[in-house]
Amino acid sequence: MPNAAEQTSGSSEALLEVKPAELPRAALVGGNRSLSWITDKICGITEERAPAWWWWCFAAAAFVASFTVAGLTYLVATGVGVWGHRSPVNWGWDIINFVFWIGIGHAGTLISAILLLLRQKWRTSINRSAEAMTIFAVFCAAIYPLFHLGRVWYAWFLLPLPNSNEVWQNYRSPLEWDVFAIATYGTVSVLFWYVGMIPDLATLRDRFHAAGRGLRARIYGLLALGWRGSNRHWSNYEMAYLILAGLATPLVLSVHTIVSYDFAVSLIPGWHSTIFPPYFVAGAIFSGFGMVLTLVLPLRALYGLEDLITQHHIDCMCKVLLATGSMVGYAYVVEFLIAWYSANPYEGFGFINQAFGPYGWAYWVMIGCSVAVPQLFWSGKVRRNMVLVFILSLLVNLGMWCERSVIIVTSLSRDYLPSSWGFYSPSVVEIFTFFGTFGVFAVLFLLFIRFLPIMAVAELKASLPEAGPGARSGLPLAGSPGHARRSYGLMAAFESPKRVLLAAERVRDAGFRKWDCITPYPVRGLDRAMGIGRSRVPRGSLAGGIAGFCTGMVMIWFMDKLDYALAVGGKPFFSPLFAFPVSYELAILFAAFTTIGGMFCLNSLPKHYHPVLKSESIRRGTDDLFFIVIEKSDPRYDPARTRALLEGLGGAGIAELER
Amino acid sequence: MFPRAINSLPFQVIVYLCLLAGVATAGVNYYMTPKYTRVGYAPIQPVPYSHAKHVGELGLDCRYCHNTIDTAGSALPTAQTCMNCHSEITNSSPALATVRESFQSGVPIRWVRVNVMPSFVYFDHAVHVNRGVGCVECHGRVNRMEVVTQMQPMSMGFCLDCHRAPEWRLRDKKDVFNLDSQPIAALRGREAALRFAQDWNIKPTQDCSGCHR
């Protein structure tokens, strides 16, 4: 089609003439900051002494956390009877709080994974703390199902481990699906968080080393696994990170879906409903974003992060709250519609009972906080008032807690038979345990902001508008003309990504094979400039996913059909339908393992000792400078001529690296 | 910052972790299962009663002392049962002082339980001994024991082994209390044992609620 080709070339010429107007986009980092400013700001939080408010908060949080410790100790010493559960309400605050915390845990992975896939770059300044929040929330959530077993030391019965009882788990139960969903979610969240943090840990390592704080440098160094910002590593790393995001997206949707199955698969009116999965997921994202705002707003004020968490970020989060809050409100309305339209008297009564029964107050708090409150975010004035946003984010979580309470307790307390109706109120032990989990969460979060980089430094740098030239002026590095005793190769510094891109193209064209670029963040286009092909990480991910799915299916078939065939509720011994949720979770888990394992293998990491890491200039390589390293083992390497080539390309501070 | 040798550390860590996991698995599998924790338990009883002498040498039937075992369930003998003979035989033996004391005061002897079945398990001796499960299957060769010792793990797996394939453990009715007898499957083959199971309508339950009532 020659016509089309002409048209495109013609239109591009026209575009050059017209110069289309730039769409005004909110800057992700305010104040026209440089690369090194971001490094200093975020790493400085970890490096400086803990401020007084941190110690006060930590002491208070530890005190609150002791309530959970006390409650659980008393429970274990006495028995689960100390909780207020009585027939018919056999699930009370334990499961309410479990769903509440798991729901909060959803925003982290959503921000890291789904927003990454949707190219929402504003996620970069909040994803690290949101992921940390996810992990700590999952930890708090896991307390409840484990301890409501009563004998928590038998929790391993939930896992498919060979045992003297010679029994296997019942994979027809959504409660068993839940075990796999939560365990996979926790594991993948931790991996995602840690892998994302490796480049920043390397930055901290080099900064502590330069500051002469050896112990901290070694600890961060061990955790950074020898990361050196090599572009060959970045290539695999970015691919692995993208795949992890792709894996975490269906995971985050499946986890709360499976949590909702705990209810939806049962027969209780008010639970037995197909709307539960989407409605639970929307509610989880809603409460998670509420919690992110609750945590991020004080951090922003205390550490002066207004340039990194801008009004644009807060607007975006408020809008997510508005959208998901409206979805939840829609689900409440549809539930009533279904109850009426199904003409099922029990279903109808269940919902009337929710609104006007003995627990009606919880229902109206839920409507007020989860449906009405987010509607305020239509107004820009509200979104710009930080104190108000903070208070509203607290109310959102109050509303979501009431929602779980309405679903679980109200439905259980009045089911089909009025003769078996009951009333539930929590015991003081339950109240202690729940109150304390906020302390547990706060202790973990305070430790996180004290010891780990609270924002994704490398990612923030990549999102700077001037990730073009002039990141920081000056190349204060002194080169050394001398020869190293046992030479590894030559290293040259470049002050901007653009320079290093041009230089890399030349080095590639000169026919070098064993060389690398060292960059503080993945520079777009550098892979092509270096002649690196597409990463091979995805092959491992595919193999891992298939292996995980097959493992799940074969395991459940072996356990529930072959080795321990037990008739439960007239269900078949094996069906791919009920084996699916667990196999699905295992597919994601195995794929995550092979993705990360494959990335490490391809990068031959961990490698804590490397000639590049020995050089003093690496400190700038994980901060704001760009380097090219040409190895001596390359057949085209010649000390004098290669040095001349690098000088000609504008490389500064050229030095020979010692092996 | 780190010496060159550290690059082999990750490999070493992986190897040692694998070794540790292997050792831990083997250790837990051996030392933390009833096969190890329960089997061989032989507490000292308040009376040095020798089953080897009374059953093995003198030929006393199990049911002489454990007299309700085939009708109502487990039973430990009262002092009266001992005194049936020991009022005449070795009636001044110091080993029997506890028995005579219990007989006179009416306070039962505090025997130490050897095979402990948890309270959440429903187990009835009668249905087992009346359907051809010999004492020896669970209790071992008590007729050779000076001190009664736990011989089987009594774990849920041990119960299920037999409940899943009872034919290997069934005996003729006359052999049930004979601790030196052989099961039908060993004497006349599996076919005969299966026929016995069918004739006696032996269909052991594998439902959870069969034992956890």
pLDDT per residue as tens digits for the range A359-404: 999 999 999 999 999 999 999 999 999 999 999 999 999 999 999 9
| A657/chain B closest Cα distance in angstroms | 15
Q: Which residues of A touch B208 (CB under 8 A)?
A: 566
Q: A389 is written with which tokens? A: 């946003």
- A546, A146 Cβ separation under 8 angstroms: no
pLDDT tens profile B78-99: 899 999 999 998 888 998 999 9
The residue with greater pLDDT, A106 or A196, is A196
Helices A174-210 & A231-264 angle (0-180, nearest 10): 150
Q: Which residues of A touch B17 (CB under 8 A)?
A: none
If you average pLDDT over each of A133-137, A159-163, B33-37, which comes out highest? A133-137
* Cβ-defined contact of B33 to A164 (cutoff 8 Å): yes
Counting one residue from A and one from B, how many pairs have CB atoms under 8 Å apart? 49
- B153, B38 Cβ separation under 8 angstroms: yes
Sequence-separated (6 or more) residues with CB below 8 Å from residue A640:
none
SS (H, E, C) A91-124: CCHHHHHHHHHHHHCHHHHHHHHHHHHCCCHHHH
Q: Which residues of B touch A205 (CB under 8 A)?
A: 1
| A561/chain B closest Cα distance in angstroms | 14
* Cβ-defined contact of A221 to B2 (cutoff 8 Å): yes
Q: Which residue of A has its CA nearest to B153?
A: A164
Confidence of residue A615 (pLDDT cuts 50, 70, 90): confident
Q: Which residue of B has its CA nearest to A612?
A: B1
Q: Does the CB of B3 have a partner CB in chain A at under 8 Å?
A: yes
Encode A409-418: b = buried (16+ Cβ within 10 Å), e = exposed: bbbbbbbeee
* Cβ-defined contact of B7 to A166 (cutoff 8 Å): no
CB atoms within 10 A of CB B151: 20
Query: Which of A219, A608, A614 has the highest number of chain B CBs within 10 A, making it the mutation to test binding with B?
Result: A608
The pTM of this model reads 0.88
For range A104-114, the mean pLDDT: 84
Helix then strand then coil, in percent of chain A rounded to 5, is 70, 5, 30
Burial group, residue A241, by CB count within 10 angstroms (0-12, 13-18, 19+)? buried
* Cβ-defined contact of B9 to A608 (cutoff 8 Å): yes
Confidence of residue B2 (pLDDT cuts 50, 70, 90): confident
| B36/chain A closest Cα distance in angstroms | 11
Confidence of residue A4 (pLDDT cuts 50, 70, 90): very low
Cα distance from N-terminal residue to C-terminal residue, chain B: 64
At A476 the pLDDT is 55
SS (H, E, C) B107-132: CCCCCCCCCCCCCCCCCCHHHHHCCC
Query: Which of A157, A163, A166 has the highest number of chain B CBs within 10 A, making it the mutation to test binding with B?
Result: A166
Cα distance from N-terminal residue to C-terminal residue, chain A: 57
CA-based Rg of chain B, rounded to a whole angstrom? 24
Report the distance separating Cα A135 and Cα A294, nearest Å: 16
| B206 vs A225, A566, A608: nearest CB | A566
Q: Which residues of A touch B6 (CB under 8 A)?
A: 608-609
Backbone angles phi, psi at A362, to 5 degrees: -65, -35
Q: Which of residues 179-208 of A touch B (CB under 8 A)?
A: 205
**3-state secondary structure (DSSP) of residue A604:** coil
Q: A402 is written with which tokens? A: 């009431």
Q: Does the CB of B118 have a partner CB in chain A at under 8 Å?
A: no
Residue A69 identity (one-letter amino acid): V
Q: A558 is written with which tokens? A: 């072996």
For range A614-618, the mean pLDDT: 83
Report the distance separating Cα A363 and Cα A117, nearest Å: 36
Q: A210 is written with which tokens? A: 């330069």
CA distances from A83 to A359, A428, A435, A535, A588 (A): 19, 8, 14, 53, 36
Q: Residue A490: which of A638, A620, A631, A617 has the closest Cα? A: A631
Q: Residue A623: which of A449, A453, A461 has the closest Cα? A: A461
For range A58-74, the mean pLDDT: 96
For range A502-515, the mean pLDDT: 92
Q: Which residue of B has its CA nearest to A167?
A: B157
Q: Does the CB of B33 have a partner CB in chain A at under 8 Å?
A: yes
* Cβ-defined contact of B156 to A166 (cutoff 8 Å): yes
At A478 the pLDDT is 60
For range A237-249, the mean pLDDT: 93
Q: Does the CB of A167 have a partner CB in chain B at under 8 Å?
A: yes
* Cβ-defined contact of B6 to A166 (cutoff 8 Å): no
CA distances from B165 to A153, B162, B171, B190, B198 (A): 31, 5, 14, 11, 13
Q: Does the CB of B2 have a partner CB in chain A at under 8 Å?
A: yes
Q: Does the CB of A165 have a partner CB in chain B at under 8 Å?
A: yes
* Cβ-defined contact of A167 to B156 (cutoff 8 Å): yes
Whether the predicted pLDDT of A6 surpasses 50: no
At A509 the pLDDT is 92
Confidence of residue A11 (pLDDT cuts 50, 70, 90): low
* Cβ-defined contact of A609 to B6 (cutoff 8 Å): yes
This model of the complex carries an ipTM of: 0.81
Q: Which residues pair with B133 in a beta bridge?
A: B170
At A471 the pLDDT is 47
Q: Which residues of A touch B10 (CB under 8 A)?
A: 225, 606
Whether the predicted pLDDT of A123 surpasses 90: no
Whether the predicted pLDDT of A329 surpasses 90: yes
Would you give the distance in Å from CA A450 to the centre of its chain?
19
At A473 the pLDDT is 47
Confidence of residue A20 (pLDDT cuts 50, 70, 90): low
**3-state secondary structure (DSSP) of residue A264:** helix
Q: What is the DSSP letter of B58?
A: T
- A88, A234 Cβ separation under 8 angstroms: no
CA distances from A588 to A100, A118, A546, B155, B174 (A): 24, 20, 9, 36, 60
At A112 the pLDDT is 81
pLDDT tens profile A73-89: 999 999 888 998 888 89
* Cβ-defined contact of B1 to A613 (cutoff 8 Å): yes
Q: Residue A140: which of A87, A193, A88, A103 has the closest Cα? A: A103
* Cβ-defined contact of B3 to A609 (cutoff 8 Å): yes
Whether the predicted pLDDT of A461 surpasses 60: yes
At A479 the pLDDT is 62
Strands A626-631 and A515-518: antiparallel
Q: Does the CB of B26 have a partner CB in chain A at under 8 Å?
A: no
| B156/chain A closest Cα distance in angstroms | 4
Q: Does the CB of A209 have a partner CB in chain B at under 8 Å?
A: yes
Q: Which residues of A touch B156 (CB under 8 A)?
A: 164-167
- B132, B195 Cβ separation under 8 angstroms: no
Report H helices in A463-609: 497-509, 526-530, 537-556, 576-602
CA distances from A543 to A186, A546, A557, A589, A591 (A): 22, 5, 21, 12, 7
Peptide bond into A298 cis (omega under 30): no
Q: Residue B152: which of B38, B7, B15 has the closest Cα? A: B38
Whether the predicted pLDDT of A3 surpasses 50: no
Q: A61 is written with which tokens? A: 């949080």
CB atoms within 10 A of CB A70: 14
| A608 vs B6, B29, B207: nearest CB | B6
Q: Which residues of A touch B161 (CB under 8 A)?
A: 166
At A8 the pLDDT is 46
- Please state the domain extents for chain B: 51-75+114-210, 77-110
At A618 the pLDDT is 81
Q: Does the CB of A164 have a partner CB in chain B at under 8 Å?
A: yes
Whether the predicted pLDDT of A5 surpasses 70: no
At A163 the pLDDT is 87
Query: Which of A609, A613, A615, A616 has the highest number of chain B CBs within 10 A, making it the mutation to test binding with B?
Result: A609
* Cβ-defined contact of B161 to A166 (cutoff 8 Å): yes
Q: Does the CB of B77 have a partner CB in chain A at under 8 Å?
A: no
**3-state secondary structure (DSSP) of residue A575:** coil
pLDDT tens profile A545-604: 999 999 999 999 999 999 888 888 888 999 999 999 999 999 999 999 999 999 999 999
- A250, A242 Cβ separation under 8 angstroms: no
* Cβ-defined contact of B156 to A164 (cutoff 8 Å): yes
Q: A256 is written with which tokens? A: 């709360």
Q: Does the CB of B204 have a partner CB in chain A at under 8 Å?
A: no
